[in-house]
Copies of this chain bind each other. A is one copy, B any other.
Amino acid sequence: MKVGIIGLGLIGGSMAIDLKRKGFASEILGVEADPVNAAAAEKIGLVDRLIDLEGCLEQADLIVLAVPVGAAVRMLPKILDRISETGADDKTVIDVCSTKEQLARCVKYHSRRDRYVATHPMAGTEYSGPWAAMPGLFDGHACIICDQEESSAKAVRVVEKMYETLNMRTIYMNSSNHDVHTAYVSHISHVTSFALALTVLDKEKDEKHIFDLASGGFSSTVRLAKSSPDMWTPILSQNRDNVLHVMDTYIEKMMAFRNAIDQDDEDKVRELIQEANKIRRIIR
């Protein structure tokens, strides 16, 4: 099967590596709008061939849209238009974005909605671009498939097989629930890391102190603050209502802590920490 990957960053590039290495793809066709990233992807050998979007839609059997979600919302309807025009009946299109509701909406009534499968492989690092791509990125992680009843059963099977090849566990939910849950278990932790980095950079003018004193705990908590603005600006915009709702809850919890510390209420501080400790039951 020829796999076309549009966007050769961390996710698209890592998929290219493993789909070829594991024999799922006979050929990887890569589309990359940024000339520096395109040259890098070719040099690293992420793809068999660089190609333009038109050529990719024509030649690939499975098309992976791996661009930031803002661009994906603009591109997806046009990709389905083009596939409709060519009359091809067996092409499958997926996206790999972190928010799903607006994508679902922009193609809901498209005549070829059935060729599109909405997916979110929940794996990544805080790095981006073709240089960040790596084998095994998806191994053992969860992949969410959204609104699968709106895709053709055959297209869903192709995609399930692809994620099996990547060694991912598949979970099914609708795109609206997806966006609520990812606001809690992914988007908010990026926002808290960004805010932590801003706080420390603002107050610790002497970077040497941060460097000398930063323990493993701080590094792990602030790690996500290295994440790409190109990826995260549209995610926070597209999932705005859910993210705002979680942020409000988060700010409430911070204020509860703040007030307990301010009043030197050690019983309350202890109670809050003990409650927070329950995350042990869930996270390894």
Contacts and interface: CB of A to CB of B under 8 A. Distances in A.
A204 B278 CA distance: 13
Copies of this chain, count? 2
A44 interface: no
Interface stretch (A111-119, A155-163, A236-244): A236-244
A226 B280 CA distance: 6
Interface residues of A, number: 93
**Which of A185, A226, A237, A275 neighbours the largest number of chain B CB atoms within 10 Å of its CB?**
A185
A180 B261 CA distance: 16
Interface string A50-64: 000000000000000
Contacts of A277: 197, 225-227, 229
A257 B214 contact: no
Contact of A266 (B237, B246, B253): B237
A141 to B, nearest CB: 7
Contacts of A215: 122-124, 141-142, 185-186
A72 interface: no
Interface string A216-243: 1111111111111100111011001001
A149 interface: no
Contact of A213 (B122, B220, B273, B276): B122
A99 to B, nearest CB: 13
7 contacts: A122-B213, A185-B214, A195-B257, A197-B278, A217-B224, A226-B280, A247-B254
